[in-house]
Amino acid sequence: MDVAGKIVVVTGGGSGIGRALAKRFHAAGAAHVAVADLNFDAAAETARDVGGTAFHCNVADEANIRHVVRETEKIGPIELFCSNAGVISADPDFDNAASAPDAVWMQGWSVHVMAHVYAARALLPQMIARRSGWFLNTVSAAGLLSQMGSAVYSTTKHAAIGFAESLAIAHKDHGIGVSVLCPQGVQTAMTQGGFFAGADVDGILTADAVAEAALEGIREGRFLILPHAKVAEYTKVKAENHERWIGGMAKLRRRVAAMRPGHAG
Ligand SMILES: NC(=O)c1ccc[n+]([C@@H]2O[C@H](COP(=O)([O-])OP(=O)(O)OC[C@H]3O[C@@H](n4cnc5c(N)ncnc54)[C@H](O)[C@@H]3O)[C@@H](O)[C@H]2O)c1
């Protein structure tokens, strides 16, 4: 899909990867970029940069997504919807994968999965009728592999891949495309504050580099967009021998645990 002349929506567009996506799509000739974020001021700043519109939107609330879609469709049909908003929090106890409270699990589920379902619900009827449209869902390498220290993030990002696969399979014959953007570490607000300290083994990319990879992936019509090439290797290793992969990850976790403050040694 070529974004030139298309109307695009980006959620979580006030910061990081979302802001970079909005700017890259604008530079590639998008007709209009709507920027939706929980942080309206941040969305407005991105919207100013791209000559688009800003929305205050909590993607966990279906009515908020419907509002963004309805208002943007007044300009014209939405051809590309990027469900990009995301949140991460560390398991309260690094040594207990079930330690996050229910509220944190529900937030991960709402923001990383249901938000994607709400966007699809709001747009599929129009896209099916037009026989065109594209969903770009920012997931993570954690949706294919794992995120050490956040079972909520790993689990809900896996579920995001599951929904995107269902969407792609069910609607390929309707002319609708789906891509999942699955980077490892990216230099954004999310990776500041030390959560990822010691866990990044393959380098941190800029948000601009990830947006570039996303644009290229959509142009080529790819489902899986992997800005870090190593992720393709790791997923292959995982598929070939799940036991070995779990063993390797546990070994890496031991190394990360040893670097954590307060580790006994
Ligand atoms: N930074 C990384 O290393 C990395 C790696 C892989 C995947 N990702 C994914 O990329 C996406 C973007 O993250 P980022 O790194 O740019 O982080 P970021 O914190 O810079 O941006 C996230 C944006 O989402 C918005 N947001 C959060 N909850 C929201 C909600 N309920 N409704 C609407 N907006 C909401 C925030 O206000 C913020 O502007 C996320 O889905 C994240 O999981 C990030």
pLDDT digits (tens, 9 = 90+) for 179-195: 999 999 999 999 986 66
Q: Give the C-alpha separation, 217 to 181, whole Å.
A: 9
CA-nearest of 19, 170, 9 to 77 is: 9
Task: Note the pLDDT tens digit of each residue in 231-252.
Answer: 999 999 999 999 999 999 999 9
Evaluate: CB of 147 within 6 angstroms of ligand 1: no
Q: Give the C-alpha separation, 63 to 36, whole Å.
A: 13
Evaluate: CB of 87 within 6 angstroms of ligand 1: yes
Return mean pLDDT, the chain.
95
3-state SS assignment for residue 90: coil
Q: Give the C-alpha separation, 194 to 261, whole Å.
A: 11
What pLDDT sits at residue 230? 95
Two tokens, residue 152: 């909520």
How far away, in angstroms, is 176 Cα from ligand 1 center? Answer: 25
Evaluate: CB of 16 within 6 angstroms of ligand 1: yes
What pLDDT sits at residue 202? 81
- Ligand 1 atom having least distance to the Cα of 141: 6
How far away, in angstroms, is 37 Cα from ligand 1 center? Answer: 10
What pLDDT sits at residue 237? 95
The catalytic site residues sit at 153
pTM of the model as a whole: 0.96
Q: Give the C-alpha separation, 151 to 155, whole Å.
A: 6
Quote the distance between the C-alpha of residue 43 and its chain's center.
17
Give the 3-state secondary structure percentages of the chain, helix then strand then coil, rounded to 5: 50, 15, 35
Task: Note the pLDDT tens digit of each residue in 62-73.
Answer: 999 999 999 999
Q: Tell me if 135 sits within 8 A of 178, measured CB to CB.
A: yes
Evaluate: CB of 12 within 6 angstroms of ligand 1: yes
- Ligand 1 atom having least distance to the Cα of 60: 31
How far away, in angstroms, is 240 Cα from ligand 1 center? Answer: 31
Q: What number does CATH give the domain 7-229?
A: 3.40.50.720
Evaluate: CB of 86 within 6 angstroms of ligand 1: yes
CB neighbours (10 Å) of residue 264? 4
Evaluate: CB of 128 within 6 angstroms of ligand 1: no
Give φ, ψ of 78 to 5 degrees: -80, 120
Q: What percent of the chain lies above the pLDDT cut of 70? A: 95
Task: Note the pLDDT tens digit of each residue in 81-100.
Answer: 999 999 999 999 999 999 99
Among 56, 68, 87, residue to substitute to test ligand 1 (most atoms within 8 Å of Cβ)? 87
- Ligand 1 atom having least distance to the Cα of 85: 24
Q: What is the amino acid identity at position 157?
A: K
Q: Give the C-alpha separation, 166 to 218, whole Å.
A: 18
Query: Which residue lies with its CA nearest to atom 8 of ligand 1?
Result: 140
- Provide the residue ranges of all domains of the chain, joining segments of one domain with +: 7-229
